[in-house]
Amino acid sequence: MQKPLIAVLMAGAFFSLNARAADLLQVYQQALANDATYASARASADAGRERITQGRAGLLPTVGINGGYGKTDTDVTPWNASSAVNTNLRTNQVQVALTQPLFRWDRWETYQQSKLQQAIAEAQFAQAQQDLITRVAQAYFDVLSAQDTLESTRAQKVATTEQLASAKRNFEVGTQTITDTHEAQAAYDLVVSQELAAVNDLENKKTALQAIIGTPPSALATLRAGVALKSPEPVSVDQWVSAAENQNYAVTVAELSLETAKREISRRRSGHYPTLDLTASSSYNKTNGQTVQSGKTTSNAIGISYTIPLFNGFAVTSQVREAIALEDKARNDLEANRRNAALNARQSFLGVNTGLAQVKALEAAEVSSNSALESNKLGYQVGVRINIDVLNAQRQLYQTRTDLARARYNTILAGLRLKAAAGSLREDDLQSINALLQQP
């Protein structure tokens, strides 16, 4: 009897362990493994890390082997001969050639650009990591907010059902009019409609989270009741704006793109410059034939080759003008990204502070709404309040609770967006938020 009991207890413990709700960090780890957008950014970064190797290749020597084998059969009939003379010629050629660039300005600039392009790829990947953090947090708290709305709606439905039943009983005994019953019925029908909408919204939010983590989300850890949220540090908005203008990854990418555009002008101008290469080769020739002397020839050569461009139909001049225009575009893109980063930092900073103030106000409103509901219930029982007063007080309380939860979520998300705008958002920031969660 003991063994089956132990097996049941172990199975129950295993089930309870598996039934634990996933927290924010666990969901983020799922997104790291399954999000297609992040996987695309990671692959793009891997490709970008090959740019320096490719750019350096243009400055290194190239070595190649070329050769050929030929067979020529010729029949020659002299005027004074009665038969033709056959010539069988066999040739075998092999050459090893080396070319080392000595002065090719375009390749030097390409190498310098490859460094910038690799840095751009790294910055874009870092930005993709930040975007994943904010997308996961947004989707996670959207699900929690939808769950809160549904729970609040269902609680309101239970209260409205009780109020409807009370109105019907009072009408039957003659203590209330049919108007109270109609009002309670209308409130009940409305909350049923809101419940259906809340269920649909919750499914949509879960689907959005599933698109990131790749699997249907399980139960999620919820925010602890009455949790205290911190103000942003530093407390000065100017410090956040300054950080955004200099450290934001979009700004970093724009700065590197501008430097790349400047290098492109120099690379295009190199079309007017001469080129200088060191060349070396080793050749081997073997010839066999009936009418020619057979033999082997080996030759080695080393030298300098140069090219001086004189005229190319104004192509280089046009390409330089194009590169100058693109540099001007890159400079304006940099300024636009700086302004946008500063704007996002200011908006997110205000969002955090406004959210904290809203949370404080809604916490007070929740206490007041709860007191108002209790007072209306008591007044309804003694006959100084009517049914619609109780229903309105219930609706106000549940709406306040929903707004309070949403304000907390929005404040947390604004804090993440603020750090993302400043280029300082890291996975560690999710750990501090994760500490605010609890098992439902």
Q: Fill in the amino acid letter for 53.
A: T
**Secondary structure element (H or E) that encloses residue 414, with its range:** helix 387-421
What per-residue confidence (pLDDT) applies to 169? Answer: 79
Pick the last residue of a domain from 260, 287, 308: 308
How far apart (Å, rounded) are the C-alpha atoms in residues 181 and 159?
Answer: 14
Report if residue 400 sits inside a domain.
yes
Q: Indicate if 74 and 172 belong to the same structural domain.
A: no
Residue 96 has pLDDT above 90, yes or no: yes
Pick the last residue of a domain from 289, 308, 327: 308
Q: Indicate if 292 and 433 belong to the same structural domain.
A: no
Higher confidence at residue 168 or residue 47? 47
Q: Indicate if 187 and 97 belong to the same structural domain.
A: no
Cβ neighbours of 318 (radius 10 Å): 11
Report if residue 12 sits inside a domain.
no
Task: Give the mean pLDDT of the chain.
Answer: 88
385, HSE (Cβ side, Cα atoms, 13 Å): 17
Q: Indicate if 243 and 293 belong to the same structural domain.
A: no
Residue 291 — pLDDT band, cuts 50, 70, 90?
low
Residue 121 has pLDDT above 60, yes or no: yes
Sequence-distant (6+) residues with CB within 8 A of 180 are 167, 170, 171, 386, 387, 388
Report if residue 4 sits inside a domain.
no
Distance of CA 306 to the CA centre of its chain: 48
What per-residue confidence (pLDDT) applies to 80? Answer: 65
What are the backbone angles phi and psi of residue 101, rounded to the nearest 5°? -65, 130
Nearest to 213 by CA among 80, 69, 39: 39
Nearest to 70 by CA among 93, 94, 91: 91
Q: Indicate if 47 and 139 belong to the same structural domain.
A: yes
Q: Indicate if 45 and 184 belong to the same structural domain.
A: yes
Q: Indicate if 189 and 284 belong to the same structural domain.
A: no
Q: Indicate if 196 and 96 belong to the same structural domain.
A: no
Report if residue 18 sits inside a domain.
no
Cβ neighbours of 315 (radius 10 Å): 11
What are the structure tokens assigned to 273, written together? Answer: 């410059």
Nearest to 422 by CA among 118, 117, 127, 37: 127
Report if residue 11 sits inside a domain.
no
Residue 440 — pLDDT band, cuts 50, 70, 90?
confident
The CATH number of the domain holding residue 40 is 1.20.1600.10
What per-residue confidence (pLDDT) applies to 106? Answer: 95
Q: Indicate the pTM of the whole model.
A: 0.84
How far apart (Å, rounded) are the C-alpha atoms in residues 331 and 341?
Answer: 15
| Residue numbers of the domain that contains 296 | 69-102+279-308
Report if residue 335 sits inside a domain.
yes
Nearest to 407 by CA among 370, 362, 368: 362
353 contacts 411 by C-beta, under 8 angstroms: no
Q: Indicate if 267 and 283 belong to the same structural domain.
A: no
| Domains in the chain, number | 2
3 state DSSP class of 95:
strand
Q: Fill in the amino acid letter for 437.
A: L
Report if residue 424 sits inside a domain.
yes
Pick the last residue of a domain from 287, 308, 329: 308
**How do beta strands 275-289 and 222-223 pair?**
unpaired
Report if residue 159 sits inside a domain.
yes
Q: Indicate if 224 and 337 belong to the same structural domain.
A: yes
pLDDT digits (tens, 9 = 90+) for 49-94: 999 999 999 999 999 999 998 887 776 666 665 655 566 778 899 9
Q: Fill in the amino acid letter for 324.
A: I
Q: Indicate if 45 and 84 belong to the same structural domain.
A: no
Q: Indicate if 298 and 367 belong to the same structural domain.
A: no
What are the structure tokens assigned to 379, written together? Answer: 């007044």
pLDDT digits (tens, 9 = 90+) for 202-246: 999 999 999 999 999 989 999 998 888 989 988 899 999 999 999
How far apart (Å, rounded) are the C-alpha atoms in residues 414 and 347?
Answer: 9
Question: In the 8-state DSSP scheme, what is residue 104?
Answer: -
Residue 295 has pLDDT above 60, yes or no: yes
Nearest to 162 by CA among 12, 432, 347, 381: 381
SS3 readout for 242-279? HHHHHHCHHHHHHHHHHHHHHHHHHHHHHHHCCEEEEE
